Amino acid sequence: MPSSSIAEATPVRAVLDCGVAGGRSRILRQHVPYPFHITQPFYLDAARPDLATLYLQSASGGLYSGDHLELSLHAREGSALAVTTQAATLVHDCRGEAAVQRAHLSLARDSVLLYTPDPLVVFPGAALRSSLEITLAPDAIALCQEGFACHDPDGNAGVFDHIETDTTVRAPDGRVYATDRSRITGDSLGTPASPLGPFRASGSVLLLGAGLPDPAALQAGIDRTGCFSGIANLPNEIGIAIRLLAPDGGRLARGLALAFDACFHAALGVRPAARRK
């Protein structure tokens, strides 16, 4: 997700509202302030010509100390929207004041919303609080991913400060279907207590409200990309969560791409077209 290079006293909020018009899914309402920027919709999938794909772009070069960015995506009944990023987002040294990014996804009945930003690249000193909230109506399908990889551009094996994540899936009436929270500190990497073990990159995928890929075949495919993976059923029978660990960002990206392909096929019944970056 993009960011401003100037610390924000109040959140910067972007809103995209997708609905069906003229037989296709289109952006019916948008508010996209700096530093957010989007492309025009692309219709990449010949087998799903109704599916609009948007690239979310950055006008500022990453997430910085004090940034507070919020993105709201709404898929109206019957619409289908895929949102991804143009490239990985850099999280810079935050000097003790964490950057904040929040995404709110709202899916009406019979809608499809794919939210798959590229993994973050976290620099030494980076601090981030990230949250994802999904409101899922009956017969809606959501496919979401997130991840990060450590990188020290100076080659000194420096590590980030901390990363906090919070994911919640709700019903339209507010009932919580599932929630997941985590906090990892950079100084825990390389120690016996590291939640990443020997790995330096981590990602996750949620597939909600859809048919499921074969778990054994999916896990075997992800493992062949050089990632270590696990698949679990979510509470309330709403879908699955896939966890990935990787030695570096490149292999994490390949594992996430394979998971996206398999989940897209299971959910929509067709293979996705390439989303070139």
Burial pattern 174-196, b for ≥16 Cβ within 10 A else e, equals eeebbeeeeebbbeebeeeebeb
Q: How confident is the model at residue 10 (pLDDT cuts 50, 70, 90)?
A: confident
**Whether pLDDT at 6 is above 90:** no
Sign of CA dihedral 85, 238, 270, 263: positive
**52-58 vs 90-91, strand pairing mode:** unpaired
Q: How confident is the model at residue 173 (pLDDT cuts 50, 70, 90)?
A: very high
Looking at the predicted structure, is the pLDDT value of residue 172 above 60?
A: yes
pLDDT at position 193 is 85
Residue 128 has pLDDT above 90, yes or no: yes
DSSP bridge partners of 127: 162
Q: Which element (helix H / strand E) includes 249?
A: helix 249-268
61 pLDDT above the threshold of 60: yes
Question: Global pTM?
Answer: 0.94
Nearest to 90 by CA among 67, 62, 65, 118: 62
CA 252 – CA 200 distance, rounded (Å): 10
The token duo for 250 is 């490149």
**What DSSP letter does each residue of 54-110 carry, written as one string?**
EEEEESSSSB-TT-EEEEEEEE-TT-EEEEEESSPPEE---TTS-EEEEEEEEE-TT
276: pLDDT strictly greater than 50: yes
Q: What is the pLDDT of residue 70?
A: 97
Once rounded to an integer, what is the mean pLDDT over residues 125-145? 98
Residue 176 scores a pLDDT above 50:
yes
| Amino acid of residue 162 | H
pLDDT classification of 58: cutoffs 50, 70, 90: confident
pLDDT of res. 28: 97
Q: In Å, what is the CA distance from 91 to each residue of 94, 101, 148, 242?
A: 8, 11, 10, 24
Domain residue spans of the chain: 12-197
Chain mean pLDDT for the chain: 94
Q: What is the mean pLDDT of residues 123-149?
A: 98
Tokens read off for 93: 């040294």
